[in-house]
Structure 1
């Protein structure tokens, strides 16, 4: 039985539409034009405070407004965390297979814990996971390896595998010394070859076979 920890945004779920919508509500209130989806995706992966900082730099907004704008985006996103967010194709079926095979599954994300649970509940995904570590669960967040270590510590089983989609996820796994599976259809910016990984996949149906090979 393996322990498998997943990233959330860009790995299990395509959440950028709801993140962008919350950002654009925030920007509209502040009198700024909307952010396009392609740009929003480049800001995803390090939590809402970092996302807001990137948006502010993009528009040249006074950094002194960071706390206020972050609070507004958090409020908008918390009110609508899963209106447009959906699991990637094959995710639910793959989680069902991995669970049936006896593997222990968890989440390690930079999204706030409460919002992560909201999304998992709304999409009926919470049933698969024994632990959810969010970006505010510890004093540090990814790429610091501590959140990943905490997620694995809460799960039984070995060998260990981390599954993510981004540069942040690859660096977290590297720092943690953990095997990394890269989902290639998420929000990464760099070419696949530039991210250290044990397995790269664009179809979730191929993941169980890789996990079987770890044993």
Structure 2
């Protein structure tokens, strides 16, 4: 078993730990239906996720009709977040090996954190339903701080909350890689998520196809 040369590892959520696109699509389409707009296909939704709920809803609105602004948009955003909070009661499946691999890292003394652009209240609700909440010593959602990924301060806050030391990031898209570079930590990318570009072009230090391969991949990372 390869040693893990990091005191803490921080993870993205959507497309990295959980295949959440079906849940997001259901909530988004319920919201669009309330606005008398046509639903979006799953592939369309996947192409829109990763930058937080506000950006997601704006993209969905532009794809289905005129843009909303001001109070109209805020009302629609509030509706979407409430609907998604409800949908999170029945979360989609974790990717294979996630629970076991996270538990293994924790047992080996690695502090685990979560850095996602998903709203914090929905993130924590999902973690509870998925049985992962106890594994993460620090959680930052997209609305936890004044900044979010790709801003490195979002990731940096999680690392600091975990106690600092040698850290690594694990994600699936450009926001994760950019945040890691800005924070000065190495990054592993998974190949199965929602990268919105060829995963080989993300610029990650290592790419893995299976989450259980993560401990060995971490051992191959450069130390920041």
Is 1:4 aligned with 2:13? no
- Match for residue 42 of structure 2 among 37, 40, 49: 37
Q: Distance in 2 between matches of 1:88 and 1:73?
A: 25
**TM-score, normalized by length of structure 1?**
0.95
1:197 deviates by 1.1
Q: Distance in 2 between matches of 1:206 and 1:8?
A: 17
- Match for residue 143 of structure 1 among 144, 150, 159: 150
Cα deviation digits, residues 86-144 of structure 1 (max 9, x gap): 21111011111101111000000001111100000000011111000111111111111
Q: Distance in 1 between matches of 2:178 and 2:53?
A: 19
Task: Name the stretch that deviates more: 54-63 or 89-98.
Answer: 54-63
Asked if 2 retains the 8 angstrom alpha-carbon contact of 1:15 and 1:82, the reply is no
- Match for residue 208 of structure 1 among 191, 215, 222: 215
Is 1:17 aligned with 2:26? no
- Match for residue 104 of structure 1 among 107, 111, 116: 111
Q: Distance in 2 between matches of 1:103 and 1:152?
A: 12
SS at match of 1:96: helix
Is 1:60 aligned with 2:60? no
Q: Distance in 2 between matches of 1:142 and 1:94?
A: 24
1:82 deviates by 4.2
Cα deviation digits, residues 42-65 of structure 1 (max 9, x gap): 111111111000101111323223
Pairing 1:64-213 to 2, within 5 Å after superposition: 64=69, 65-156=72-163, 158-213=165-220
RMSD: 1.4
Q: Distance in 1 between matches of 2:65 and 2:37?
A: 10
Residue 186 to residue 152, structure 1, CA distance change in 2 (3 Å): same
> Number of residue pairs matched?
215
Q: Distance in 1 between matches of 2:42 and 2:199?
A: 21
Q: Give structure 2 stretches of 5+ with no counterpart.
A: 1-5
Task: Name the stretch that deviates more: 34-43 or 204-213.
Answer: 204-213
Q: Distance in 1 between matches of 2:68 and 2:32?
A: 14
After TM superposition, what 4+ stretches of structure 1 lie above 4 angstroms from structure 2? none
**TM-score, normalized by length of structure 2?**
0.91
